[in-house]
Amino acid sequence: MITYKWLPRPAPYLDVWRAMHDYTESRDEQSPDVIWLVEHEPVYTLGQAGKPEHILNSGSIPVVHTNRGGQVTYHGPGQVIAYCLIDLHRAGLFVKEYVALLEDVTIELLTDMGVAGVCLKPGAPGVYVPMADRGGELAKIAALGIKVRHGRAYHGIALNVAMDLSPFLGINPCGYAGLRTVDMATCGVHVSMEQVGEQLAQRLAQGLSAKVAAKSL
């Protein structure tokens, strides 16, 4: 059974990152899989292979080099992050199918909550929506990045709910110059952080449990 919990909000990024790392390094075959829900203090995070030139103007927002995959992104108030601490080896999941599950669950949640046209963008991990004011140009609403250590995954997916989007102008989001970012509120969907976070965690837990059950047949 996969459980979830909210961490105190807003949380400093480094504190949560260290806690994820420590849990992953110390866990054994019996350690439970968990999902941590959090809202961070403003921070830019640069992935393991991230290029500093994608940070255009960080201003007063701190930049943290982290060990997840991907380039640079922004975390801040109004964004729900689901950090999934999952033993992929025990679950029998390959990394690609795990990433696909994170994306698919997020798409299903957004669709059910009324965000129209939610989709993937080939070759660009994460979740997107077409913007009518830009002729259907895709804007990113959820960013994804994971780290796998000894078959155990951490980090996860960040979903923009109702946030100040201007800090994204200080970077090339996920390494793409000119990529627009959007949140659920901009798409006309106004829901609480708690509702979105708990729905996301519940659906992720159910989806992962279903995958594990199917693998065991």
Residues with catalytic function: 174
The C-alpha torsion from 133 through 135 and 136 to 138, rounded to 10°, is -80
Assess contact for 147 and 78: CB atoms under 8 A. Answer: no
DSSP, collapsed to helix, strand or coil, labels residue 200 as helix
Query: Quick one: which of 20, 38, 141 has its CA closest to 81?
Result: 38
3-state secondary structure 178-194: CCCECCCCCCCCCCCHH
- Could you tell me the two tokens for 14? 């480094």
- Helices 95-112, 193-215: inter-axial angle, 10-degree rounding: 140
Q: In angstroms, rounded to a whole number, what is the distance separating the alpha carbons of residues 31 and 56?
A: 41
Token reading at 198: 């708990």
Dihedral (C-alpha) 94, 7, 213, 120: value to the nearest 10 degrees?
Answer: -50
Q: Is the peptide bond before 10 cis (omega within 30 degrees of 0)?
A: yes
